[in-house]
Amino acid sequence: MISLSRLAAIMHKEVLQLRRDRLTFAMIIGIPMIQILLFGYAINTDVRHLRAALADESGSQLARQLAADMEASQIIDIVDRVRTATELEDMLRRGEISVGVYIPPDFDRRVQRRDRSAVQLLVDGSDPTILGAARQFRNMEMSFDTAPRTVERPPLVEVRNYYNPERRSAVFVVPALIGVILSMTMILFTAIAIVRERERGNLELLIMTPVRNIELMIGKVLPYVLIGVVQVTLILALGVWLFDVPIVGPLIDVYVAALVFVAANLTMGLVISTFARTQFQAMQMTLFFYLPSILLSGFMFPFDGMPQLAQWIAEVLPLTHFVRIIRGLMLRGADLSELAAEIHALTLFMLFTLSVSVLRFRKRLD
């Protein structure tokens, strides 16, 4: 028969254990808070303020009114102005904008005749959410549009879908999934590396060796780089074979970007391993870092739709930069040189976290 007093004693013991384990207690409070804040504040499926550029070859008053009406909708923000549609396409390929607005020289005549569309939107359709937001312009009322609304009349705005004409979700998801999987596995592997050495007593052997901190850190990282390469190859092969995901850019660039990203995640794992005292704590800390990375990187939700504060936080996360790189290489055919800013961000993150891990590590048992 169950004794209530013994049961109460066990429960009291568990509560005391939780109070002593500050990290577990922080997760009890922190995980719900992080999720409610991210989903309630940062995540926004009603996309607004997409980065856009304008190529106005008309220069007319009507064209200027069109641009003003589009910005007033808050769907796009015109952040740059160029001369030709080719320049818009180049900016789309480099990932500098999500939408290009092209106004042809005969814009006024097209508006008056309404026998065909008067303006073209060049949209990065690799993200179906962005494409859906841009398509709202097809039914939006323009202040200068006084033509009678008839069924036969073509829409004023024509939307051209770039990089994902079939609007398949796999084309959008699979490239970024490389970064998501690498983030989870690489950080977790190295986050428990030093902790496992301490728990198994292997640090006693390291204390007796002349190995320097930097040598130990790099030695811990390098074996997992090969594992990362294997994972990248596996995901690419499955993505191409099962889901027909294109690889438009050079394959060697994909691997170079992946190696830099792998190194950044491995060094982050080393930092976590120097804070954690048990493997369970290392896994808990990994979850704290992994959850915001998934939600704020642009993997699931459009980056432009997030509030400014959330975007600032996302810029610190390596997954944000890798998602931009891998989609640019695989889907848009961009060169690695055109994505150099993202590579530099990953490199700086890697150097910073490696320095922190080296400074924090001590070859002693504590």
Domains and CATH numbers, the chain: 50-162 (3.40.1710.10), 169-360 (no CATH)
| The predicted structure's pLDDT at residue 261 | 96
User: What b/e string do you get for 135-151 counting C-beta neighbours within 10 Å, with b at 16 or more?
Assistant: bebeeeebebbeeeeee
- Is the pLDDT at 111 greater than 80? The verdict is yes
Separation CA 200–CA 41 (nearest Å) = 43
| The predicted structure's pLDDT at residue 37 | 66
> 49-63, 148-162, 275-289: which range is least confident on average?
148-162
Structure tokens at 4: 């209530």
Contacts (Cβ under 8 Å, ≥6 apart) of 240: 247
For the chain, percent helix, then strand, then coil, each to nearest 5? Answer: 65, 10, 25
Q: Rounded to a whole number, what is the largest CA-CA distance in the chain?
A: 90
Q: Where are the beta strands (DSSP E) in the chain?
A: 50-56, 76-82, 99-103, 119-124, 157-162
Structure tokens at 269: 């794992």
Strand partners, 326: none
Please give the mean pLDDT across all residues of the chain: 83
| The predicted structure's pLDDT at residue 300 | 79
Residues of the chain with pLDDT > 70, as a percent, come to 82
Measured at the CA of 170, the angle between CA 168 and CA 171, to 5 degrees, comes to 75
- Is the pLDDT at 152 greater than 70? The verdict is no
pLDDT band at 230 (very low <50, low <70, confident <90, very high): very high
DSSP letter for each residue of 343-364: HHHHHHHHHHHHHHHHHH--SS
| The predicted structure's pLDDT at residue 341 | 93
User: What b/e string do you get for 323-335 counting C-beta neighbours within 10 Å, with b at 16 or more?
Assistant: bbbbbbbbbbebe
Of 366, 357, 286, 284, which is closest to residue 22 (Cα–Cα)? 284
> 67-76, 89-98, 100-109, 144-153: which range is least confident on average?
144-153
Of 361, 346, 150, which is closest to residue 263 (Cα–Cα)? 346
Residue labelled with tokens 């986050």: 191
Of 226, 144, 169, 179, which is closest to residue 323 (Cα–Cα)? 179
User: Are the C-beta atoms of 98 and 123 separated by less than 8 Å?
Assistant: yes
| The predicted structure's pLDDT at residue 251 | 92
| The predicted structure's pLDDT at residue 7 | 67
pLDDT band at 364 (very low <50, low <70, confident <90, very high): very low
pLDDT band at 303 (very low <50, low <70, confident <90, very high): confident
- Is the pLDDT at 240 greater than 50? The verdict is yes
| The predicted structure's pLDDT at residue 42 | 61
Strand partners, 80: 53
| The predicted structure's pLDDT at residue 123 | 94
Number of helical H runs and strand E runs in the chain: 15, 5
Q: What average pLDDT does range 301-322 have in this prediction?
A: 88
User: Are the C-beta atoms of 272 and 289 separated by less than 8 Å?
Assistant: yes
- Is the pLDDT at 136 greater than 70? The verdict is yes
| The predicted structure's pLDDT at residue 304 | 79
Secondary structure of residue 332 in the 3-state scheme: coil
User: Are the C-beta atoms of 315 and 192 separated by less than 8 Å?
Assistant: no
User: Are the C-beta atoms of 348 and 330 separated by less than 8 Å?
Assistant: no
- Is the pLDDT at 315 greater than 90? The verdict is yes
Separation CA 324–CA 189 (nearest Å) = 24
Secondary structure of residue 97 in the 3-state scheme: coil
Separation CA 283–CA 273 (nearest Å) = 9
- Taking only the tens place, the pLDDT of each residue in 187-228 is 988 888 777 777 776 666 666 677 776 777 777 778 888 889
| The predicted structure's pLDDT at residue 92 | 93
- Is the pLDDT at 365 greater than 50? The verdict is no
Q: List the strands of the sheet with 76-82, edge to edge.
A: 76-82, 50-56, 99-103, 119-124, 157-162
More confident residue, 80 or 41: 80
